[in-house]
Protein backbone atom coordinates (compact mmCIF):
# COMPACT_ATOMS: atom_id res chain seq x y z
CA UNK A 1 0.00 0.00 0.00
CA UNK A 2 1.36 3.42 -0.87
CA UNK A 3 1.88 6.32 1.52
CA UNK A 4 -1.13 8.23 0.21
CA UNK A 5 -3.67 5.50 0.88
CA UNK A 6 -2.01 5.06 4.26
CA UNK A 7 -2.64 8.79 4.88
CA UNK A 8 -6.29 8.40 3.81
CA UNK A 9 -6.70 5.46 6.20
CA UNK A 10 -5.19 7.58 8.99
CA UNK A 11 -7.84 10.21 8.23
CA UNK A 12 -10.57 7.54 8.36
CA UNK A 13 -9.34 6.39 11.76
CA UNK A 14 -9.27 9.98 13.00
CA UNK A 15 -12.91 10.37 11.96
CA UNK A 16 -13.81 7.14 13.74
CA UNK A 17 -11.96 8.25 16.87
CA UNK A 18 -13.93 11.53 16.83
CA UNK A 19 -17.19 9.55 16.83
CA UNK A 20 -17.79 9.93 13.10
CA UNK A 21 -17.89 7.74 10.04
CA UNK A 22 -14.49 6.17 9.21
CA UNK A 23 -13.90 7.45 5.69
CA UNK A 24 -10.74 9.38 4.81
CA UNK A 25 -9.35 11.12 1.77
CA UNK A 26 -6.21 12.88 0.52
CA UNK A 27 -5.54 14.97 -2.59
CA UNK A 28 -2.12 14.49 -4.15
CA UNK A 29 -0.17 16.31 -6.85
CA UNK A 30 3.42 15.68 -7.90
CA UNK A 31 3.98 13.34 -4.97
CA UNK A 32 2.82 15.89 -2.38
CA UNK A 33 -0.33 15.87 -0.27
CA UNK A 34 -2.27 19.07 -0.94
CA UNK A 35 -5.17 18.33 1.38
CA UNK A 36 -6.45 15.76 3.86
CA UNK A 37 -9.93 15.17 5.14
CA UNK A 38 -12.36 12.80 6.76
CA UNK A 39 -16.09 12.42 6.96
CA UNK A 40 -17.35 14.97 9.52
CA UNK A 41 -21.10 14.69 9.03
CA UNK A 42 -21.58 13.69 12.66
CA UNK A 43 -18.95 15.98 14.19
CA UNK A 44 -20.09 19.10 12.28
CA UNK A 45 -23.79 18.18 12.00
CA UNK A 46 -23.34 18.89 8.28
CA UNK A 47 -24.80 16.43 5.79
CA UNK A 48 -22.32 17.31 3.02
CA UNK A 49 -19.04 17.14 4.93
CA UNK A 50 -17.99 13.88 3.32
CA UNK A 51 -14.30 12.92 3.44
CA UNK A 52 -13.60 14.02 -0.13
CA UNK A 53 -15.38 17.35 0.36
CA UNK A 54 -13.48 17.97 3.60
CA UNK A 55 -10.24 17.11 1.80
CA UNK A 56 -10.95 19.54 -1.05
CA UNK A 57 -11.86 22.28 1.43
CA UNK A 58 -8.64 21.69 3.33
CA UNK A 59 -6.61 21.80 0.11
CA UNK A 60 -8.06 25.25 -0.52
CA UNK A 61 -7.89 27.05 -3.81
CA UNK A 62 -5.14 25.40 -5.81
CA UNK A 63 -5.94 26.96 -9.17
CA UNK A 64 -6.10 23.82 -11.24
CA UNK A 65 -6.70 20.21 -10.35
CA UNK A 66 -4.87 19.00 -13.45
CA UNK A 67 -2.57 16.10 -12.59
CA UNK A 68 -4.06 15.58 -9.13
CA UNK A 69 -5.15 12.25 -7.72
CA UNK A 70 -7.85 11.87 -5.09
CA UNK A 71 -7.45 8.96 -2.69
CA UNK A 72 -10.44 7.82 -0.67
CA UNK A 73 -10.85 4.84 1.62
CA UNK A 74 -14.34 4.22 0.17
CA UNK A 75 -15.56 4.61 -3.41
CA UNK A 76 -16.87 8.18 -3.70
CA UNK A 77 -20.64 8.73 -3.69
CA UNK A 78 -22.41 10.85 -6.31
CA UNK A 79 -21.93 14.03 -4.27
CA UNK A 80 -18.17 13.56 -4.12
CA UNK A 81 -17.96 12.17 -7.65
CA UNK A 82 -19.68 15.34 -8.81
CA UNK A 83 -16.92 17.40 -7.18
CA UNK A 84 -14.30 15.20 -8.85
CA UNK A 85 -15.88 15.77 -12.27
CA UNK A 86 -16.57 19.48 -11.64
CA UNK A 87 -12.95 20.23 -10.74
CA UNK A 88 -11.41 18.04 -13.43
CA UNK A 89 -9.68 15.54 -11.16
CA UNK A 90 -8.75 12.76 -13.58
CA UNK A 91 -7.73 9.97 -11.20
CA UNK A 92 -9.42 8.51 -8.13
CA UNK A 93 -7.97 5.67 -6.09
CA UNK A 94 -10.49 4.03 -3.74
CA UNK A 95 -9.62 1.71 -0.89
CA UNK A 96 -12.74 -0.37 -1.50
CA UNK A 97 -16.20 -0.46 -3.03
CA UNK A 98 -17.62 -3.67 -1.53
CA UNK A 99 -19.29 -1.75 1.31
CA UNK A 100 -20.68 0.93 -0.98
CA UNK A 101 -20.37 0.87 -4.78
CA UNK A 102 -20.46 4.64 -5.06
CA UNK A 103 -20.39 6.43 -8.40
CA UNK A 104 -17.55 4.66 -10.21
CA UNK A 105 -19.38 4.44 -13.53
CA UNK A 106 -20.39 8.10 -13.34
CA UNK A 107 -16.79 9.20 -12.87
CA UNK A 108 -15.53 6.89 -15.60
CA UNK A 109 -18.17 8.20 -18.00
CA UNK A 110 -16.64 11.64 -17.47
CA UNK A 111 -13.09 10.53 -18.24
CA UNK A 112 -11.90 9.85 -14.69
CA UNK A 113 -9.60 6.87 -14.18
CA UNK A 114 -10.94 4.99 -11.16
CA UNK A 115 -8.88 2.33 -9.39
CA UNK A 116 -10.43 0.15 -6.68
CA UNK A 117 -7.73 -1.36 -4.47
CA UNK A 118 -10.19 -3.65 -2.65
CA UNK A 119 -8.25 -3.34 0.61
CA UNK A 120 -9.23 -5.48 3.57
CA UNK A 121 -8.21 -2.76 6.02
CA UNK A 122 -10.68 -0.32 4.45
CA UNK A 123 -13.45 -2.93 4.34
CA UNK A 124 -12.84 -3.90 7.96
CA UNK A 125 -13.03 -0.26 9.13
CA UNK A 126 -16.42 0.11 7.48
CA UNK A 127 -17.79 -3.29 8.52
CA UNK A 128 -16.93 -2.67 12.18
CA UNK A 129 -18.51 0.77 12.04
CA UNK A 130 -21.69 -0.39 10.29
CA UNK A 131 -22.12 -3.26 12.72
CA UNK A 132 -21.98 -0.84 15.66
CA UNK A 133 -23.83 2.05 13.97
CA UNK A 134 -26.27 0.78 11.31
CA UNK A 135 -28.66 3.72 11.70
CA UNK A 136 -25.88 6.28 11.28
CA UNK A 137 -24.53 4.48 8.23
CA UNK A 138 -27.99 4.32 6.64
CA UNK A 139 -28.34 8.06 7.24
CA UNK A 140 -24.98 8.64 5.55
CA UNK A 141 -26.00 6.77 2.39
CA UNK A 142 -29.50 8.21 2.28
CA UNK A 143 -31.51 5.14 3.31
Q: In angstroms, rounded to a whole number, what is the distance separating the alpha carbons of residues 72 and 80? A: 10
Q: Is 52 a catalytic residue?
A: yes
**Do β-strands 91-94 and 32-38 pair in parallel, antiparallel, or remain unpaired?**
unpaired
Q: What φ, ψ does residue 65 adopt, rounded to 5°?
A: -100, 10
> Which three-class secondary structure state does DSSP give residue 11?
helix
Query: What does each C-alpha distance from 44 to 34, 47, 88, 139 come to in angstroms?
Result: 22, 8, 27, 15
Q: In angstroms, rounded to a whole number, what is the distance separating the alpha carbons of residues 76 and 32? A: 21
Catalytic residue among 3, 52, 96, 139: 52
The catalytic residues are 52
Amino acid sequence: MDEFMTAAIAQAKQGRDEGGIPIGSVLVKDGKVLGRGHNKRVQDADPVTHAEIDCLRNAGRIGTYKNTTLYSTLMPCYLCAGAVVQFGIKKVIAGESATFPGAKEFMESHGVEVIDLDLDECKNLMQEFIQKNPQLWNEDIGK
